[in-house]
């Protein structure tokens, strides 16, 4: 089986590539096949951002006009075929795209000009990645003018620089909005993307990279090719290719199936399609629970959140994945589908052991349903998501703990607790929940719940943390939760600000 030709739009032109293997990365295609070496490989695992490029997708909301959606992504772990039918910008393209209009008399895009003026480059190896993350910000946040320092910092947390100490780069991210603007001729790009979509031949049944556009086709293909590697955003599977050297004869990419991309709010549920990106999914969750913002911003870097999907994170089932403890605490259910039909189960029941789950060979995880019931009057809801890691941003949790309580007349009426990093799978702290449910919400209850929580798990020691430390955290995070539930401020480092007068 060979893959079908790969088409994408770059510099106003359709690029067509033949015989690109299904497991070839976008970065390999750029550097080795197209000889565009502006985009760099720093780590080959999506953690440093040197390989960042921006993709443009044509999206159409019901009724509204088609729009161009820009996403900065890591090209080193993204399979090349996954960008079929999209627009692509690399660092070289910002000054070479006929649809990207630079300010009059300028030979640099404002993001480039800004980095130059702010002395934001030293060795320069990370620079193309920063340029492209900033280009994503530029397109998505009105030239960057809508982002404060915090916003800029969050948007750039997936790009590492070892030379500058970031101060000039963060300054450049703010400064770019003050420079004469550059604009993308979005209608022209959209028109070409539409043509690309129309020209695309019907799916070849025998192609080795399948990216069907409907759930029905997807499930049919899944049934026919149980050995195919299922991918969504590739943010983990990409590493199997680059680091574990695995080969895939056939890839089934779920990201184009319209049903899997949608996020809807209906019947007291937030229904998140499994292929919704982490960024989109967290935005939806965050709109219901604003306190989740900082937790969401700490989930990997933006390029990973732009590619990776909520369903991928859940299906992957890593014990240190951060979305599952949250979803468990929110009592989410997963929907598994196959040509045989659908079934749903509580998320934590998906897992049977370390990276093992109940998904059958012909099944796919298609949706995550998060209940958002209206609160009955007199009930207070306490939801907090905690993550402890070596680095604040773009790191993997030593421990992730999500606490979700409803308290009515001083009594805990509902308790759900999700934990990561403390067992072979993401886990629900069943005993801890039981220890709180029906109890008065007091310091004593919290303290005792902390003890139960510590007794409930036997975390391992590894390079991220010792088992003892993880165990300690379970107790101390419960204590912080108690304090925060009482409205105490000054108990979180996030709240602390310092002013040093000049």
What single DSSP character describes residue 29? I
Site of tokens 């992504």? 73
- Hey, which residues between 282 and 301 contact other proteins (CB under 8 A)? 301
Residues 6+ apart with CB under 8 A from 181: 103, 110, 143
- Hey, which residues between 460 and 479 contact other proteins (CB under 8 A)? 462-466, 469, 472-473, 476-477, 479
Residues 6+ apart with CB under 8 A from 502: none
Nearer to other proteins, 111 or 314 (CB): 111
391 binds other proteins, rule: CB under 8 A: yes
73 binds other proteins, rule: CB under 8 A: no
- Dmax (CA) for the chain in angstroms is 70
Stretch that binds other proteins, among 77-85, 199-207, 252-260, 386-394 (CB under 8 A): 386-394
90 binds other proteins, rule: CB under 8 A: yes
Asked if 2 contacts 250 with a C-beta cutoff of 8 angstroms, the reply is no
Site string for other proteins, 138-157 (x = CB under 8 A): -----------x--xxx-xx
- According to DSSP, the residues that pair with 6 across neighbouring strands are 17
Residues 6+ apart with CB under 8 A from 45: 76, 77, 238, 239, 242, 243
394 binds other proteins, rule: CB under 8 A: yes
122 binds other proteins, rule: CB under 8 A: yes
Q: How far is CA 115 from CA 39, 118, 155, 159, 335, in A?
A: 17, 5, 16, 14, 46
- According to DSSP, the residues that pair with 264 across neighbouring strands are 271
Burial of residue 427, with CB atoms counted within 10 A of its CB: 0-12 exposed, 13-18 middle, 19 or more buried? buried
Which residue from 85, 143, 168, 319 is in contact with other proteins, where contact means CB under 8 A?
A: 168
- Hey, which residues between 192 and 251 contact other proteins (CB under 8 A)? 242-243, 245
Closest contact distance (angstroms) between CB of 303 and other proteins is 13
Closest contact distance (angstroms) between CB of 143 and other proteins is 17
Stretch that binds other proteins, among 59-67, 84-92, 276-284, 328-336 (CB under 8 A): 84-92
CB atoms within 10 A of CB 158: 25
Closest contact distance (angstroms) between CB of 447 and other proteins is 13
Residues touching other proteins, count (CB under 8 A)? 92
Which residue from 159, 277, 307, 331 is in contact with other proteins, where contact means CB under 8 A?
A: 159
Which residue from 388, 427, 429, 436 is in contact with other proteins, where contact means CB under 8 A?
A: 388
Closest contact distance (angstroms) between CB of 495 and other proteins is 8
CA 463 from chain center: how many Å?
Answer: 24
């Amino acid at each position: 089986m060979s893959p079908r030709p790969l088409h994408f739009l770059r510099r106003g032109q359709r690029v067509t590539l033949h015989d690109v293997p299904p497991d070839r990365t976008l970065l390999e295609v750029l550097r080795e096949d197209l000889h565009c070496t502006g985009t760099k490989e720093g780590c080959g695992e999506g953690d440093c951002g040197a390989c960042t490029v921006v993709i443009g997708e044509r999206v159409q909301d019901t009724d509204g006009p088609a729009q161009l959606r820009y996403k900065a992504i890591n090209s080193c772990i993204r399979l090349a075929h996954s960008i079929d039918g999209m627009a692509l910008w690399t660092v070289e393209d910002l000054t070479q795209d006929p649809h990207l209009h630079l300010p009059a008399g300028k030979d640099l895009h404002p993001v480039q000009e800004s980095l130059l003026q702010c002395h934001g480059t030293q060795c320069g190896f990370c620079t193309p990645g920063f340029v492209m993350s900033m280009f994503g910000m530029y397109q998505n946040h009105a030239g960057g003018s809508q982002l404060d320092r915090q916003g800029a910092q969050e948007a750039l947390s997936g790009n590492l620089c070892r030379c500058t100490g970031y101060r000039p780069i963060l300054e450049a991210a703010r400064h770019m909005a003050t420079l004469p603007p550059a604009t993308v001729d979005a209608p022209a790009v959209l028109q070409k993307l539409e043509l690309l979509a129309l020209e695309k031949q019907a799916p070849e049944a025998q192609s080795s990279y399948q990216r069907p556009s409907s759930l029905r086709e997807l499930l049919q293909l899944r049934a026919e090719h149980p050995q195919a590697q299922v991918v969504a955003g590739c943010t983990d599977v990409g590493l199997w290719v680059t680091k574990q050297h695995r080969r895939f004869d056939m890839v089934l990419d779920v990201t184009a199936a319209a049903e899997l991309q949608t996020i809807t709010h209906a019947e007291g549920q937030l229904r998140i399609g499994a292929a919704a990106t982490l960024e989109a999914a967290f935005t939806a969750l965050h709109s219901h629970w604003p306190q989740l913002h900082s937790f969401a911003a700490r989930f990997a870097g933006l390029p990973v959140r732009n590619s990776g999907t909520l369903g991928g994170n859940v299906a992957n089932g890593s014990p240190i994945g951060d979305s599952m403890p949250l979803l468990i605490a929110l009592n989410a259910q997963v929907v598994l589908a196959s040509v045989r039909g659908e079934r749903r189960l509580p998320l934590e029941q998906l897992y049977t052991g370390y990276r093992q789950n109940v998904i059958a060979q012909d099944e796919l995880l298609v949706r995550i349903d998060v209940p958002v019931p209206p609160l009955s009057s007199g009930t207070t809801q306490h939801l907090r998501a905690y993550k402890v890691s070596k680095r604040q941003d773009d790191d993997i949790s030593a421990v992730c703990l999500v606490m979700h309580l409803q308290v009515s007349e001083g009594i805990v009426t509902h308790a759900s607790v999700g934990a990561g990093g403390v067992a072979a799978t993401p886990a629900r702290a069943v005993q801890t929940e039981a220890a709180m449910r029906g109890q008065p919400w007091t310091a004593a209850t919290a303290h005792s719940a902390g003890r139960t929580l510590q007794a409930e798990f036997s975390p391992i020691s590894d390079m991220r943390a010792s088992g003892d430390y993880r165990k300690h955290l379970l107790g101390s995070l419960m204590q912080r939760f108690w304090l925060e539930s009482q409205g105490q401020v000054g108990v979180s480092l996030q709240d602390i600000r310092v002013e040093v007068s000049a």
